[in-house]
């Protein structure tokens, strides 16, 4: 009964505003928005059935409420922030002109959250405005702008996304690596291989995932030149990628690395081979186990083989 009453009152407030003067309608719009947003951003168990209908009702109000939603980005409530993002996504492209104008605000917090919203909407009209702030002095803005460009998927943003791979902040490099994968920027492959040695975990593994989605022959040949890098992580993660590809050329390169002077490299290479070929179609297992003398490396190899064989059952 309580839920029905709330819905009835909201619907009635909408009906009563029809035909009012513009100023009155603007005031009424804000009142309706404020009333609905209390429900849309609510975490109360008593209102849980009204949260999604409230979001839908605000979205149905259209582009007129976008400025009100943008102002709500200043909320300290994560739940309300997610509500704003979800409502803007429901409104979609009509919200983009308002969001693009908001990119020029002096409040970096609003700008970075507007970038997020534009990435969720995925309208190419936002690409150039986002590119224009890709070199913002605020790293959070750069991070969100580059991330949004990757989500939108327009390759015209390639130059900005690739340049961000060299950013001084690890989070921005991570977003750039993810963006390179989403945009399929194979011209960035060498930089992504270099990023395998990044000191930020997120950037390294984002580079791995993006490289795995690119042309395997091209990436393999780049790794063939880089796997002996003086940066250990480049070679170690390179072994992981080669194992995931698992073609004949990849396995040959991995076998060479099992002869490395570095136990850690031998372990990565052997584990990659055993994971890719647990049934030993390449006939490398006997050679690897016979050659290896380091007990820890042998333990890693045995564990990897057991796990891989278990997965094939």
Tell me, yes or no, whether 96 and 207 share the same domain. yes
Q: Of 44, 70, 91, at which residue does a domain stop?
A: 91
Residue 88's pLDDT is 97
Residue in the block written with tokens 């015209």: 156
Mean pLDDT of 271-278: 96
For the ranges 44-48, 76-80, 195-199, the one whose mean pLDDT is highest = 195-199
Tell me, yes or no, whether 240 and 128 share the same domain. no
Q: Of 127, 192, 115, which is closest to residue 156 (Cα–Cα)?
A: 127
Prediction pTM value: 0.86
- Structural domains in the chain (count): 3
Phi, psi (degrees; rounded to nearest 5) at 231 = -90, 105
Tell me, yes or no, whether 125 and 114 share the same domain. yes
Residue 16's pLDDT is 39
Q: Of 51, 70, 91, at which residue does a domain stop?
A: 91
Cβ proximity of 32 and 10 under 8 Å: yes
Tell me, yes or no, whether 32 and 80 share the same domain. yes
Q: Of 68, 91, 114, at which residue does a domain stop?
A: 91
* Segments forming the whole domain that contains residue 4: 1-91
CATH code for position 147: 1.25.10.10
pLDDT digits (tens, 9 = 90+) for 231-267: 999 999 999 999 999 999 999 999 999 999 999 999 9
Is pLDDT at 19 greater than 50 in this prediction?
no
Residue 133's pLDDT is 96
Residue 242's pLDDT is 98
Q: From residue 125, give the alpha-carbon distance in Å to each of 94, 100, 115, 140, 149.
A: 11, 9, 13, 22, 11
């Amino acid at each position: 009964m309580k839920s029905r009453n709330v819905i009835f009152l909201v619907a009635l407030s909408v009906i009563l505003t029809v035909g009012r003067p513009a100023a009155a309608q603007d005031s009424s719009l804000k009142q309706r928005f404020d009333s609905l947003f209390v429900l849309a951003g609510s975490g109360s168990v008593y209102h849980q059935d009204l949260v999604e209908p409230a979001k839908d009702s605000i979205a149905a109000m259209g582009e007129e409420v976008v400025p009100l939603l943008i102002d709500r980005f200043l909320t300290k409530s994560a739940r309300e922030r997610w509500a704003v993002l979800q409502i803007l996504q429901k409104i979609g492209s009509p919200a983009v002109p308002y969001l693009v104008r908001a990119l020029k605000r002096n409040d970096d917090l609003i700008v970075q959250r507007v970038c997020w919203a534009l990435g969720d909407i995925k309208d190419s009209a936002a690409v150039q405005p986002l590119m224009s702030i890709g070199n913002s002095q605020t790293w959070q803005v750069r991070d969100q702008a580059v991330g949004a460009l990757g989500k939108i998927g327009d390759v015209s943003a390639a130059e900005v996304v690739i340049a961000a791979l060299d950013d001084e902040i690890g989070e921005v490099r991570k977003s750039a690596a993810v963006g390179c994968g989403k945009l399929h920027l194979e011209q960035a492959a060498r930089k992504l291989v270099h990023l395998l040695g990044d000191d930020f975990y997120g950037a390294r593994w984002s580079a791995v995932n993006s490289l795995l989605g690119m042309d395997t022959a091209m990436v393999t040949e780049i790794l063939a030149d880089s796997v002996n890098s003086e940066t250990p992580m480049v070679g170690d993660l390179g072994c992981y990628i080669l194992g995931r590809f698992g073609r004949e050329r990849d396995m040959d390169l991995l076998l060479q690395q099992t002869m490395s002077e570095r136990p850690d490299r031998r372990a990565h290479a052997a584990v990659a081979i055993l994971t890719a070929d647990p049934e030993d179609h390449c006939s490398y297992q006997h050679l690897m186990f016979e050659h290896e003398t380091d007990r820890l490396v042998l333990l890693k190899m045995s564990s990897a083989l057991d796990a891989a064989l278990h997965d094939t059952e």
